[in-house]
Every structure is written in structure tokens, then in C-alpha cells.
């Protein structure tokens, strides 16, 4: 479902003497449907960078980034937007909220985007928010005012509202209490069971061992010679 | 916007080819080309004088470009170069399938006509004749842009800046256009009013499946509204792509400067 071939990434800082900073080389990675691969490696090794490359948020310098049958490294914006709507979900560490939109609508939005009827989308959003222990009195409020932990749970609910065939999870269990952590792990296992291909970053080793089928050490992709 | 339609199979709504506008020896915008697909929202950013407004006005037919094509997929005849259309044809397009939201609401409104009249006028221009229906639609649109229908008979000069801007949007969208040009739609408004307007634009664009081209210097506005982005400098497009990719991983020196110049709140 997700396959990276010989991907490299560098940043060129034009305003700092055009310094070229290579950050990743020869990335090869494959994730099949129903499989969860954990990215490991020290902080700064490039785990989040790799995720952003797959999501099309960062532009690969070379190589192929296949998600389904689309090469994200070469795709047109509208193809990536369609991919993000229908195929590839991403739970980042931070919720980017639009002012004034209620939490329930934030969670229902991915379902509405694929044409799910409004009442069905809202029912699903409500059950996810309840499962993640967001008090019902908060559902009609914008998450801008929520605590960090609540925002993160809204973000997770949003990421699992629609059944994406592929999912990127950046620290989905960080700073959750035991009960919510168990709920998130259950959601991940549910997604695997229905055939989703998942790439995750987990600092929580117990969580990592519970849901991941294999691991990829991102440090192996560090450029050999420092520029 | 639905997954029902495979976007890859759709024809572009607008094709701009090598559009060039000179002001004497000075470049307004040069060799700008892109395709815009149905439902896509494109942002154009750049500093003052970068040519972004010149480009917008040249596309919208407000001033004649020196070279290039602006091909629109019309309902009746398919793709037509709007620059070769007759003046009445283009004016008709401007009242039906196209809309233009000005930065200053007073440029897009008739200040001496009531709020309801401002909305109704566009309906009458496309053949609406039944007073009751026009008034009903005007009231409905005032509601959609969050203006109380008790203000339907008030003139826009009695409205706040944010209300005027919302009224201008209602006037533009009432005829169900397919393509909306916007020139700094949130410029000059308070941040709280901006947020409300952005949320409104965002939901209208989604509900109506509109295509839009938004010129702004505010990167937060494009991040919120635009699917894709074009960065202009000195009349040239220096970079374009998916909005979050251009903002988070800018490739061109100028875009990097632009992105790193934004104050963090």
C-alpha cells in the first residue's frame, strides 16, 4: 500500500548562503495492507520528516513515494488532495484548528468530505469523541480553547472518523492517560484488522510493541557524509 | 465536493496560458500559465507590487492583457477564450458564472442601494423579475452571510466594514457562480472579523463546490482557504504547488524569505 524507493530529502537554505542540508538518503520502505510499521531512531533522526514526505507535505528530492498507485513525489496538488481525502490519513502531534468550528464538526469533516450524509457523519464523530472521553458539553465548542490533551484526542478522533486505507500516526499515544491510551491502541488494531496500512511513531515502547508488526530504524537513512 | 467524481478525469474549469501584462516597459505579470479544476481553490501570494493583483484583474477581464489566453469552460459552448469574447458576452459571464470580490467592499457594492437591492440587482441582471422571490432570496442570502434580515432595507453605508464585506460576498454568490476571483477579501478587517469571514468563505466554497482564485499577502489566509498556492515576485511565478507543501517546505529563495518573515503569534 505504501512503498518508498530510493527516496532522498535535502533542504536548501537559499537565504543562508544556499547551504544544502541533506537529511535523508536511500530510503526504502514498504508497508502492506493490514500491517503496522513503527519508525524508530533518536530524536532528530527524521521520523517526522519521513512521514511528511509520505503525506506530500515535504517535497522529496528524488525517488518514488508510492501510496496506492500515486507517486506523491510527482503528483499534482489536486491528486494529493484527493489522496488525502480518500486514501491517506495523518494524525499529527498538533491539531490545526479553524477558529469557530465546533469539535464535533472538526471530527465529522473527513467523513463529509467523502460524501457521507451529515447525520451519519455526526453520529460517528459523536461516538468517537465519547470513546475518547471528551465530555459532551465540549462538542459544540471550538477546540481552540481545549487543553492540550483534549486537542490531541480530538485530533485522533478526526484521524479515525473515516476508514482510510493508509494511516500515518505521529505519537498518537503521547501524554494520554491509561484509559485513553488503551482506546487509541484499540482504534489502531481495529484499523489494522480492516486492512489499513499504518506507519507510526511511538515513544511509548509498550504501545509500539503491542501494535507494530515490524520496525524501521530511520537512522539508517542518514546521509553518510555530513555536508 | 465529492469523492463521487474522479477529479483526474475532469476537464479544467479555467486554463490560463502565457498571460502577460506590461505597463509600458515595466512588467505587470509575465507568462503566467496554470490550470484550475472544478472545486479547486488557488491562492496567489507575493509582496505589494509582485503582480498578483494585476494578474487577477487581467484574468477577470478588468484590464486587457498584452498576450495570452484565459480559457473558461462555459456551460453552453465548452472551453472559450474569454479574452476573445465580445464585451456583452464577457459582461454576461461576469454576472453569471464568474464573481469578483473586491478588497474594498465599496468597490463591489452600490452604496446608495439597500442591502436587499444589492443582492437583488444581480438576480435581476440574469432575468429575475418576481419581486417577492427576489426579496426572499436576498433575505436568505443575508442569513447565510450572517446579516440579520431586519437590515434588508438598510444601505450598506450604515454597515460595519465586516458586514459590508459579507454583503459583497452575498451579492456575488447569489447567482451561483462557478468561479470566484477574490482580491484581498480579508484585507483591512480586524482579526476577529477576519476569522469569521474566513470561516464563512470556507464553508460557502465547500457547500457550493466553488472554484476560487484568492489574491492575498496573508499566508494564514491561504493556509486556511487554498488547496494550492502560486508565489509571485516581480511579475513572475517563482513557485507553485500544494499549499502546505509550499509553506512548510518552500523551494525558492523568495518563498523561503516570505515564509520566514511571518511573525509567530
Distance from CA of B112 to the nearest CA of A (A): 33
What predicted TM-score, i.e. pTM, was given to this entire model? 0.90
Long-range contacts, stretch B23-27, CB < 8 angstroms, 24+ apart: B27/B51, B27/B234, B27/B235, B27/B236
Taking 80 as the threshold, does the pLDDT of residue B7 lie above it?
no
Mean pLDDT of all residues in B82-90: 92
Q: Does B265 contact A at CB distance below 8 Å?
A: no
Taking 60 as the threshold, does the pLDDT of residue B5 lie above it?
no
Q: Is A163 left (phi over 0), alpha (psi -120 to 50) or beta?
A: beta
Q: What is the mean pLDDT of chain B?
A: 90
CB contact under 8 A, A57 and B248: yes
Mean pLDDT of all residues in B145-155: 93
CB contact under 8 A, A14 and B252: yes
What is residue B159's predicted lDDT score, i.e. its pLDDT? 94
Confidence of residue B58 (pLDDT cuts 50, 70, 90): very high
What is residue B2's predicted lDDT score, i.e. its pLDDT? 40
Task: Please report how the helices B131-144 and B161-173 are oriented relative to each other, as an axis angle in degrees rounded to 10.
Answer: 130
Q: Among candidates A183, A208, A171, which has minimal Cα distance to A36?
A: A208
What is residue B4's predicted lDDT score, i.e. its pLDDT? 42
What ipTM score was computed for the predicted complex, to two decimals? 0.90
Task: Please report how the helices B191-208 and B161-173 are oriented relative to each other, as an axis angle in degrees rounded to 10.
Answer: 10
Q: Among candidates A95, B209, A132, which has minimal Cα distance to A124?
A: A132
Distance from CA of B249 to the nearest CA of A (A): 6
Q: How many CB pairs under 8 A join A and B?
A: 66
What is residue B110's predicted lDDT score, i.e. its pLDDT? 94
Q: Which residues of A touch B243 (CB under 8 A)?
A: 77
What are phi and psi for residue A88, nearest 5 degrees?
-115, 115
Confidence of residue B152 (pLDDT cuts 50, 70, 90): very high
* Closest-approach residue (CA) in chain A for B10: A78
CB contact under 8 A, A15 and B8: no
What is residue A152's predicted lDDT score, i.e. its pLDDT? 92
The residues in B 176-235 lying below 8 A from A, measured between CB atoms, are 195-196, 198-199, 202, 224, 227-228
Distance from CA of A209 to the nearest CA of B (A): 32
Alpha-carbon span B237 to B239, nearest angstrom: 6
Length of chain A, in residues? 227
Q: Which residues of B touch A11 (CB under 8 A)?
A: 249
Taking 50 as the threshold, does the pLDDT of residue B8 lie above it?
no
Which residue of A78, A90, A108, A109 to mutate against B (max B Cβ within 10 Å)?
Answer: A78
Taking 80 as the threshold, does the pLDDT of residue B146 lie above it?
yes
**Buried/exposed B47-59: b ≥16 CB within 10 Å, e otherwise:** eeebbbbbbbbbb
Q: Does B3 contact A at CB distance below 8 Å?
A: yes
What is residue B265's predicted lDDT score, i.e. its pLDDT? 56
Taking 60 as the threshold, does the pLDDT of residue B206 lie above it?
yes
Q: Which residues of B touch A86 (CB under 8 A)?
A: 3
Q: Which residues of B touch A79 (CB under 8 A)?
A: 7-8
Given a contact cutoff of 8 angstroms between Cβ atoms, the answer to whether A109 and A96 are in contact is no
CB contact under 8 A, B3 and A115: yes
Alpha-carbon span B192 to B96, nearest angstrom: 31
* Closest-approach residue (CA) in chain A for B260: A15
Alpha-carbon span B254 to B236, nearest angstrom: 12
CB contact under 8 A, B3 and A15: no
What is residue A86's predicted lDDT score, i.e. its pLDDT? 96
Alpha-carbon span A27 to A9, nearest angstrom: 9
Q: How far is residue B253 from each of residues A137, A227, B118, B250, measured CA to CA in Å?
A: 47, 20, 44, 8
CB contact under 8 A, B245 and A14: no
CB contact under 8 A, A78 and B251: no
What is residue A189's predicted lDDT score, i.e. its pLDDT? 96
What is residue A85's predicted lDDT score, i.e. its pLDDT? 95
What are phi and psi for residue B59, nearest 5 degrees?
-65, -40
Residues (pLDDT < 70) of chain A are 225-227
The residues in A 52-111 lying below 8 A from B, measured between CB atoms, are 52, 56-59, 77-82, 85-86, 98-101
Taking 80 as the threshold, does the pLDDT of residue B6 lie above it?
no
Amino acid at each position: 500500500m505504501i512503498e518508498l524507493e530510493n527516496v532522498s530529502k535535502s533542504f536548501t537554505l537559499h537565504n543562508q548562503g544556499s547551504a544544502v542540508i541533506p537529511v535523508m538518503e536511500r530510503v526504502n520502505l514498504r508497508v502492506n495492507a493490514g500491517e503496522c510499521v513503527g519508525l524508530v531512531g533518536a530524536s532528530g533522526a527524521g521520523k517526522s520528516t519521513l512521514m511528511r514526505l509520505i503525506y506530500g507535505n515535504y517535497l522529496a528530492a528524488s525517488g518514488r513515494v508510492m501510496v496506492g498507485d500515486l507517486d506523491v513525489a510527482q503528483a499534482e496538488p489536486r491528486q494529493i488532495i484527493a489522496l488525502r481525502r480518500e486514501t491517506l490519513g495523518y494524525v499529527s502531534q498538533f491539531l490545526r484548528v479553524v477558529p469557530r468550528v465546533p469539535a464535533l464538526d472538526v471530527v465529522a469533516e473527513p467523513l463529509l468530505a467523502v460524501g457521507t450524509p451529515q447525520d451519519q457523519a455526526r453520529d460517528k464523530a459523536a461516538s468517537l469523541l465519547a470513546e475518547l472521553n471528551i465530555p459532551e458539553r465540549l462538542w459544540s465548542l471550538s477546540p481552540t480553547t481545549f487543553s492540550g490533551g483534549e486537542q490531541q484526542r480530538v485530533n485522533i478522533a478526526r484521524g479515525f472518523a473515516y476508514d482510510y486505507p493508509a494511516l500515518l500516526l505521529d505519537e498518537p499515544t503521547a501524554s494520554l492517560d491509561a484509559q485513553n491510551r488503551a482506546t487509541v491502541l484499540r482504534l489502531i488494531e481495529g484499523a489494522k484488522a480492516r486492512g489499513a496500512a499504518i506507519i507510526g511513531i511511538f515513544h511509548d515502547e509498550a504501545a509500539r510493541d503491542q501494535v507494530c508488526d515490524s520496525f524501521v530504524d530511520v537512522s539508517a537513512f542518514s546521509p553518510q557524509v555530513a555536508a | 465536493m465529492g469523492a463521487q467524481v474522479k477529479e483526474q478525469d475532469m476537464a479544467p474549469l479555467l486554463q490560463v496560458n502565457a498571460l502577460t501584462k506590461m505597463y509600458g516597459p515595466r512588467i505587470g505579470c509575465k507568462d503566467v500559465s496554470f490550470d484550475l479544476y472544478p472545486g479547486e481553490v488557488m491562492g496567489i501570494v507575493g509582496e505589494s507590487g509582485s503582480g498578483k493583483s494585476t494578474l487577477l484583474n487581467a484574468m477577470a477581464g478588468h484590464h486587457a492583457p498584452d498576450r495570452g489566453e484565459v480559457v473558461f469552460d462555459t456551460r453552453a459552448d465548452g472551453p472559450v477564450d474569454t479574452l476573445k469574447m465580445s464585451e456583452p458576452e464577457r459582461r454576461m459571464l461576469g454576472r453569471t458564472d464568474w464573481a469578483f470580490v473586491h478588497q474594498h467592499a465599496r468597490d463591489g457594492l452600490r452604496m446608495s442601494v439597500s442591502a436587499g437591492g444589492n443582492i437583488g440587482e444581480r438576480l435581476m441582471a440574469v432575468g429575475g423579475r418576481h419581486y417577492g422571490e427576489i426579496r426572499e432570496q436576498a433575505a436568505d442570502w443575508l442569513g447565510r452571510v450572517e446579516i440579520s434580515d431586519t437590515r434588508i432595507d438598510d444601505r450598506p453605508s450604515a454597515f460595519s466594514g465586516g458586514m459590508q464585506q459579507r454583503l459583497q460576498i452575498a451579492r456575488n454568490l447569489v447567482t451561483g457562480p462557478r468561479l470566484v476571483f477574490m482580491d484581498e477579501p480579508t484585507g483591512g478587517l480586524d482579526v476577529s472579523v477576519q476569522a469569521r469571514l474566513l470561516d464563512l468563505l470556507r464553508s460557502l466554497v465547500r457547500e457550493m463546490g466553488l472554484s476560487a482564485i484568492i489574491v492575498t499577502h496573508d499566508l494564514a489566509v491561504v493556509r486556511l482557504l487554498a488547496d494550492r498556492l502560486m508565489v509571485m515576485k516581480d511579475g513572475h511565478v517563482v513557485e507553485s504547488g500544494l499549499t502546505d507543501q509550499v509553506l512548510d517546505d518552500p523551494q525558492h529563495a523568495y518563498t523561503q524569505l516570505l515564509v520566514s518573515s511571518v511573525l509567530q503569534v
